[in-house]
Structure 1
């Protein structure tokens, strides 16, 4: 056979194999195409092709030569997982529904739903003092926004460190009489980042945590990898027993709250400080639901416990002075957003230098930080809002108790109304919203234990008598329609979590009558709205005077 004929034969073989193996493309991808030119007649090609076709490749040979098909990859059923998890929430009645509530700055506590003319009264906001609508805060934010723009531009170490961050941290440190402070995007992040960092860096650290601590602290302890010891809620004897069981030289952190937001209880701060001193621990106090609300300057419960000393400007040696780390929020009583820690300069610098939750998070916008600084300064100078809020809280609690509606007793500004069933709590919330134009969110597991579901009511200075009467009437109606247990019914069953428990005294409010300005003249007046009405007038005049002073200073 000549060279040219051999080339043609090779092409014929290639074509035949291509036909047997499902197409020339795959074959030639392996062997490549011959790029030789020939003048040999093309008639020779069909001869060779015909010879090859007369000897077909059998199916058995094809199976032996072709690579086996790739096995079908196993795939996790992600959508099925989502469905099952959500189905569990629906079945145990703990699925969370979200209502479209749009707070109106000029009318708060009024808001509108999806339609702007569909008005409701909000009774569960954490904007406890209505600072989200404060004209001085809004003015500062508008001016800062116009000058510095919407965002911070990056993390603090890259481009988000500015006069607004430094000024806010100086104000926070002054508020708590501490050397330094550090601002985070939220107090959830502040708690998580600080506990995780300290717990992981302190050698063999043990963190002792109150059983009712917020999820942010629980998460921070988990992230730290440190040993966690849980003590019974507000139980100093249990805490001491657990402290005594630990080696003396081991670093210890006691993490707890001042106001526990779902039940309204107050942490035994002084007693915990005593135990920390005795057993060589440091204290980590979450004042999230107390800053702005308690104390002559609004620094929280730790300040309030030494009210006269702080009012006189003597913070040294007070209970607040004994706390090592204080955390708080800018998103509740101060009406903005963000969180912070305050403490010694070295502690704060350690968290600033080591905590990923701070280092790698974009800074808060300048307008937000400027607004928060203004809110804190306003509340440091003016007690009227928190005093009025406390009076409204007292009035609502008294009115609900008069209707035999079960309020879980506590000394704080929180009004937890016991329902005791997740589905019924959801129904009650829906009826209040749809039938009465009142928005109060149902609280269920995991925020509270199963069987302790409740409605959580938080009056503000703006919840005047008209709104209060409407709320009490609506709750009384809903309790009748749904057959929810009254306080007397809980009492007949022996009581439950403070409701209807025989021999249990109602705790005294943290704010005393004297601190609220309820002097003898006011107390002798008509009970209820009479006393509150007089103080409302006094406080409104005081508010105007302070507002004018702040405006003049600006």
Structure 2
């Protein structure tokens, strides 16, 4: 009798376990089914709103002329961050190939374990020298550099004062910090000064700004910011991702543009735009700051080292920039030509005298249609709309490169005029 009871009890236990597992499986399936429905509804809303972002597939190397979506006929590329045309420069490619043979494809580790090679240290020295700083630290991207700075440097006793239109990576980096956060109106120095006046009880106050704001192509008033920082005993951080290598007389960025070299306390920038276009970012500043980041910065401590070919390619770019500023001069000339020609036909070109040249359209669907018609006319540009830019402020962001010829500029302006008249954007 006792054995029968045990057998029945065991059978009941197994049945309950099966039922519980089945029920949990159904819950999971139902939860995922609900989640899928939510996701699909959100995707449909994005499509219906006209801001769906398609990815065109490039089937050639990144350059001023590229093959897109498998088509054999090349189009002129005006939407890459390849400002100096160095992503396909023969010397840069050669340096990457040689590093691949000598150092391998990657380190399979983080820097402080077994992921630091001599070329990493050499590149950091070149970066520091280029900016006139004491030291530099490499990251996998400038996004990581921004994510790793504020948390490591600042505490709840400190404050960050940030331009309201700073890049998403700066915003996300600030969110990771325990510091008190303030936002000043975009490029509004009166608002910045008011915040500085009312925040003097904090231990450290750091003013954070982009050097150039990538959606509008406008330049931060860095000279004024540095004057206010000195007056109110604050420090200045600037993200130079859309400046380094091509902005300023010899490509030293917004500091050089305003002739205030050495006034900024912390500079972050990228290797993934003008400086070879592959990947990587960095922070440069005082030796004490860089030493602290090597000990505390989480993206640095927990991310694999930059691959040797990327390091070598960027290192070669700094060599080229140190030898000559000819490419920077070509970018400046091309930028002036495009902006002046487009304005003469009635286009509204946003921003300052910078290679980011946003052609204002307004309506998101119209911007998308405009970009599609430009591609049909042999010009590769992309329409930018919400949430990348505010609603009602869609634009075609054109980016000028030293690799563009006078003919490229002329052909592109002609295409803009043709499409602009067809869509009634201009008369």
TM-based fold match above 0.5: yes
* Structure 2: runs of 5 or more not aligned: none
Identify the residue that residue 138 of structure 1 maps to in structure 2: 93
Cα deviation per residue 1:410-464 (whole Å; 9 max; x = unaligned)?
A: 122221100001111111111111x212110111122211111100111212222
- Following superposition, the deviation at residue 166 of structure 1 comes to 0.2
Aligned residue in 1 for 2:169: 216
Alpha-carbon distance, 1:30 to partner: 6.4
Q: What residue in structure 2 maps to residue 129 of structure 1?
A: 84
Structure-2 residue corresponding to 1:406: 348
Is the counterpart of residue 264 in structure 1 residue 221 in structure 2? no
CA contact (8 A) 2:385 2:393 kept: yes
Partner Cα distance (2:387, 2:256) in 1: 31
Instruction: Select 1:150's aligned residue among 105, 109, 122.
Output: 105
2:47 aligned partner? 90
**What CA RMSD, in Å, does the superposition of the two structures yield over aligned residues?**
2.3
TM-aligned CA deviation for residue 347 of structure 1: 0.6
**Residues 196, 118 of structure 1: alpha-carbon distance in 2 compared, 3 angstrom cutoff:** farther
Query: What residue in structure 2 maps to residue 506 of structure 1?
Result: none
Q: Which has the higher strand share?
A: 2
Contact preservation (8 Å) 1:248, 1:279 = no
Match of 1:370 in 2: 312
How far 1:163 moved relative to its partner? 0.6
What are the within-5 Å matches in structure 2 for residues 242-261 of structure 1? 242-261=195-214
Structure 1 match to 2:424: 483
Shift of 1:99: 0.6
Could you tell me which residue of structure 1 aligns to residue 359 of structure 2?
417
Once the two structures are TM-superposed, the CA of residue 249 in structure 1 deviates from its matched residue by: 4.3
2:358 partner SS: strand
Q: State which of 341, 363, 369 in structure 1 corresponds to 2:283.
A: 341
Name the CA shift for 1:428/1:273 in 2 (closer, same or farther; >3 Å). same
Q: Using CA pairs below 8 Å that are at least 6 residues apart, which structure has the higher relative contact order? A: 2
Aligned to 1:358: 300
Q: Distance in 2 between matches of 1:152 and 1:118?
A: 39
Residue 303 of structure 1: SS of its match in structure 2? helix
Cα distance in 2 for partners of 1:297, 1:468 equals: 23
Give the superposition deviation at 1:279: 1.7
CA distance in 1, matches of 2:413, 2:316: 35
Match of 1:181 in 2: 136
State the partner residue of 2:8: 27
CA distance in 2, matches of 1:359, 1:215: 22
Q: CA deviation at 1:480?
A: 2.0
Match of 1:327 in 2: 268
Structure-2 separation of matches of 1:156 and 1:172 = 18
Task: Find the residue that maps to 1:322 and give its secondary structure.
Answer: coil
Question: What's the CA shift string for 1:533-552, capped at 9, x where partnerless?
Answer: xxxxxxxxxxxxxxxxxxxx
Q: C-alpha separation between the residues in 2 aligned to 1:397 and 1:279? A: 38
Distance 1:72 1:30, change over 3 A: closer
Residue 360 (structure 1) shift: 0.2
Q: Which residue of 1 aligns with 2:338?
A: 396
Matched, 1:460 2:395: no
Q: Which structure 1 residue ranges, 5 or more long, are not aligned?
A: 1-9, 18-23, 32-65, 307-318, 489-554
TM, length-normalised to structure 2: 0.92
Paired residues in the alignment total 416
The answer to whether the 8 Å contact 1:123/1:457 transfers is yes
Question: Separation in 2 of the partners of 1:274 and 1:28?
Answer: 81
> Whole-Å Cα distance in 2 between the matches of residues 241 and 269 of structure 1?
17
